[in-house]
Amino acid sequence: MSQPSTDATRWFTDLVESQQALLTAAAGGPEIPVAKQWTEALAASTEWQLDTWNQLTGQWAAMFGLGPAAKPIADRRFAGEAWTKDPRFEATARAYLTQVDLLTKALEAAPLDERSKGQWSFALRQVVDALSPANNLMTNPEAQQLALETGGRSLIEGMRLFTEDLAKGRVSMTDESAFEVGENVATTPGAVIYQNELIQVIQYTPTTDEVHERPLVIIPPCINKFYILDLQPENSFVAHAVAEGHPVFLLSWRNIGPEQGQITWDDYVVDGVLQAIDVALDVTGADKANTLGFCAGGTLLASALGVLQAGGDQKAASMTLLTTLLDFTDTGEIGLLVDEASVAQREARIGNGGVLQGSELAQVFSLLRANDLIWPYVVKGYLQGQAPPPFDLLYWNSDDTNLPGPMFSWYLRNLYLENKLREPGGTVQAGVPVDLGSLDIPSFVYASRADHIVPWTSAYASTQFLGGKPTFVLGASGHIAGVINPPAKNKRNYWVSKKRGSYDPDPEKWLDSAKSVPGSWWPVWHEWLAKTAGDKVAAPQSLGSGTYTEIEPAPGSYVKEKAPKP
């Protein structure tokens, strides 16, 4: 049936071209842009309408044996046998997928700018994902079959799970009772040796007889708890760095409550990042520290080192950035939710004091991948009465962290909205203009290829304006799984430059010329870090120093605080 579609499309294209010629002649000049835009859109819309009609008629004809067999449904929401065993449910699934395809192509054909299309696409996806037949008991054959097999017990259990989640205000993704911070997650030995209103600094116990002279100071994201870097012993980034002979110090952010609602971005830079570096240098007696920031922690770290550079007192020997944005030109779908109106509204509400609830941020991140992080748990839990199994990563993902309003508002306006950080002197932080191009230290920039929060091409952009000698590594997988990829598991791969220090302005061209290496990127990072880590010295027999003494065992109390509710 492809020929009628092709002929009709050609006919319509000829028609709109003739109409365009008439419009041009009537205007007595060149093509009218608006007319051209609409005629192109109409031509495209006719093509997808005919394609959609072919899909609909083709699948119904196949069901009644009047045409070629329909292709198997590839969508995993409808992968169960129950969806194809009964033709009514298969027809429902196929009709739904065809309608989604129709709406998606209609939006693609609309004469809108790319940002508007992106915003509408995000909104459309939320609606069509929610309306999936899999999410409704009346149109989900698997849930109906289970209800019959259990005599309705699955529905009763589903109602119980729904009631529990209603009280919590979110959909459960894991058995949260199976984990306790400090007991079976975040268990690497160490001690809190410093704390203020905003942070605790953890020093970890050495596991080698000798350690490098220079400490490694880790700045985790402030929008999540730090223990993503210390989930379990076998995949702990922290424990692995300790085992490589680095004196590891880690900053643990406070879970903000109303009493910390006045804290600013500058406070995070000075009382957070710079304070942690000073503690590590005092304890070790080193001249400089190696530093590492993950996600928003990397943005804060680069800002802090830019402040030091402006003052002529650089305390960092190197900077590692993991899935970090410094250039906010393309922030993926998150950026579609940030505009002048939304930022101004946020500033008016909490910009001068207040708290951004961690649950609000968590909901946004979940909506970016609703078919992975929301609806499967609705179906399994509420429709099928199956409580989610224990999963440490999803437990961490559900451990919300609040942020102070003034800090978050500054972050939104200056970085996400106005993209000032990459401009020399574009931001004034801690009283000085920050120029990341002046950072004359080695930097290791890591990105994850399937990252939906920090697009890898945007992380790559840092190589074009950071001073010093950037080293870029691209890992496989997403924002978390790409980073937490221990060598022992021998999973995934990563890409590096074939020619050292060669970074084409076009990230895709760089990738085309890069070399793929199997396994974890951690070993290549350790090799790079060793160059600025200093000589080996005897490991300390105790933690802290005369100035900074042990306050409490790792992981500390700040990380255990649950997000205070409004």
For β-strands 493-496 and 470-475, DSSP reports them as antiparallel
The C-alpha atoms of residue 493 and residue 515 are separated, in whole angstroms, by: 10
The sign of the dihedral angle between the CA atoms of 117, 123, 127, 128 is: positive
φ, ψ for residue 471, nearest 5 deg: -120, 125
Residue 295 annotated among the catalytic residues of the structure: yes
**Active-site choice (171, 280, 281, 295):** 295
Apex CA 213: angle with CA 207 and CA 214, to 5°?
A: 100
Number of other CB atoms surrounding residue 210 within 10 Å = 11
Apex CA 349: angle with CA 345 and CA 352, to 5°?
A: 115
Q: How far is Cα of residue 40 from the mean position of the Cα atoms in its chain?
A: 36
For β-strands 210-212 and 289-294, DSSP reports them as unpaired
Q: CB-based contacts of 443: which residues, under 8 Å, 6+ apart?
A: 318, 319, 320, 321, 462, 466, 468, 469, 470, 471
Asked if 458 contacts 329 with a C-beta cutoff of 8 angstroms, the reply is: yes
Asked if 466 contacts 326 with a C-beta cutoff of 8 angstroms, the reply is: yes
Asked if 421 contacts 414 with a C-beta cutoff of 8 angstroms, the reply is: yes
- Compute, in degrees rounded to 10, the torsion defined by CA atoms 117, 119, 121, 122: 160
Asked if 291 contacts 305 with a C-beta cutoff of 8 angstroms, the reply is: yes
User: Counting Cβ atoms within 10 Å, is residue 194 exposed (0-12), middle (13-18) or buried (19+)?
Assistant: buried
The amino acid at 410? W
User: Could you give the residue numbers annotated as active site?
Assistant: 295
